[in-house]
Copies of this chain bind each other. A is one copy, B any other.
Amino acid sequence: MSEILREIGMIARALDSISNIEFKEYDLTKGQYLYLVRICENPGIIQEKLAEMIKVDRTTAARAIKKLEMNGFIEKKDDLHNKKNKNLFPTEKGKNVYPFIKRENDYSDKVALEGFTQEETDTILKLVQRVRKNIEADWEFVKKGNKRNY
């Protein structure tokens, strides 16, 4: 038991570590690539939803996004219909970096799935998506201050 989640933890830490080293070249500091790709793919998304999507603390996201803005990768625009919301958009600079992040991520994907048949690739994606759905409910539950019973 608990072997799968350890494997997943190892993979995630290794990949994040690789990406952080590789993206320094584009002046992206630790973790920033996570936010930037998603803002490029979901222009107009708000900070709160982005944090949920990535599964990171709201305040951590807030600061990462602030830094991306300060460094000119993204911009925040006030929502016209909702004064509370700030919509996030990539700048030209941000859009220009996107392909490099995508290329790196795709390469890691290729390395990760080396030796996998197409069927195995399809299978692992489906299974892993189910795990993610199973776990995100608990994450939101615990993050809101609730206690799991076990």
Assess whether B8 is in contact with A142, with CB atoms less than 8 Å apart: no
List A residues at the B interface (Cβ < 8 Å): 1-18, 21-22, 34, 53-57, 102-116, 120-121, 123-125, 127-132, 134-136, 138-139, 142-143, 148, 150
User: Do A108 and B18 touch (CB < 8 A)?
Assistant: no
Name A's interface SS: helix
A77–B103 CA distance with the chains assembled, in angstroms: 46
A/B interface sample: 30 pairs, CB < 8 A: A1-B105, A2-B106, A2-B108, A2-B109, A3-B125, A4-B121, A4-B125, A4-B128, A5-B105, A8-B8, A9-B15, A9-B55, A10-B53, A10-B132, A13-B56, A14-B132, A14-B138, A17-B142, A107-B148, A107-B150, A108-B138, A111-B134, A112-B134, A112-B135, A113-B131, A116-B130, A120-B127, A124-B124, A124-B127, A124-B128
